[in-house]
Amino acid sequence: MVSLSRNLILAFLCVLLGFVCFSNAQLSDNFYGTSCRNLQTIVRNVMIQAVNREARLGASILRLFFHDCFVNGCDASILLDDTSTFTGEKNANPNRNSARGYEVIDTIKAQVEAACPNVVSCADILALAARQGTVLLGGPSWAVPLGRRDARTASQSAANTQIPAPSSSLSTLLSMFSAKGLNARDMTALSGSHTIGQARCTTFRNRIYNDTNIDTQFAATRRAGCPASGGDANLAPLDIQSPNRFDNDYYQNLVVRRGLLHSDQELFNGGSQDALVRSYSNNVASFRSDFAAAMVKMGNISPLTGTNGEIRTNCRAIN
71 among annotated binding-site residues: yes
Residue pLDDT, tens place only, 111-153: 999 999 999 999 999 999 999 999 999 999 999 999 999 999 9
Res. 13: pLDDT tops 90? no
281 among annotated binding-site residues: no
Residue pLDDT, tens place only, 83-109: 999 999 999 999 999 999 999 999 999
Q: Please tell me the distance from the alpha carbon of residue 72 to that of residue 310, in angstroms, as a whole number.
A: 15
Residue pLDDT, tens place only, 259-310: 999 999 999 999 999 999 999 999 999 999 999 999 999 999 999 999 999 9
Give a three-class secondary structure readout of the chain. CHHHHHHHHHHHHHHHHCCCCCCHHHCECCCCCCCCCCHHHHHHHHHHHHHHHCCHHHHHHHHHHHHHHCCCCCCCHHHCCCECCECCCCCCCCCCCCCCCHHHHHHHHHHHHHHCCCCCCHHHHHHHHHHHHHHHCCCCCCCCCECCEECCCCCHHHHHHHCCCCCCCHHHHHHHHHCCCCCHHHHHHHHHHHHCCEEEHHHHHHHHHHCCCCCHHHHHHHHCCCCCCCCCCCEEECCCCCCCCCCCHHHHHHHCCCCCCHHHHCCCCCCCCHHHHHHHHHCHHHHHHHHHHHHHHHHCCCCECCCCCECCCCCCCCC
144 among annotated binding-site residues: no
Res. 24: pLDDT tops 50? no
pTM of the model: 0.91
| pLDDT > 90 fraction of the chain, expressed in percent and rounded | 92
Largest CA distance in the chain: 66
Which of 145, 162, 135 has its CA nearest to residue 58? 135
Q: How far apart are the first and last CA of the chain?
A: 34
75 among annotated binding-site residues: yes
**How far is CA 275 from its chain centroid?**
24
Q: Please tell me the distance from the alpha carbon of residue 291 to that of residue 276, in angstroms, as a whole number.
A: 13
Res. 173: pLDDT tops 50? yes
The residue from 56, 67, 180, 316 that is catalytic is 67
Q: Please tell me the distance from the alpha carbon of residue 163 to that of residue 177, in angstroms, as a whole number.
A: 9
Q: What integer is the mean pLDDT of 6-27?
A: 48
Residue pLDDT, tens place only, 193-217: 999 999 999 999 999 999 999 999 9
**Helix axis angle, 56-69 relative to 102-115, nearest 10°?**
80
Gyration radius of the chain's alpha carbons: 20
Contacts of 187 (CB under 8 A, 6+ apart): 173, 174, 177, 273
- pLDDT value, residue 122: 98
- pLDDT value, residue 26: 79
Q: What integer is the mean pLDDT of 235-244?
A: 96
67 assigned to active site: yes
73 among annotated binding-site residues: yes
Amino acid at 157: S
247 among annotated binding-site residues: yes
Res. 169: pLDDT tops 70? yes
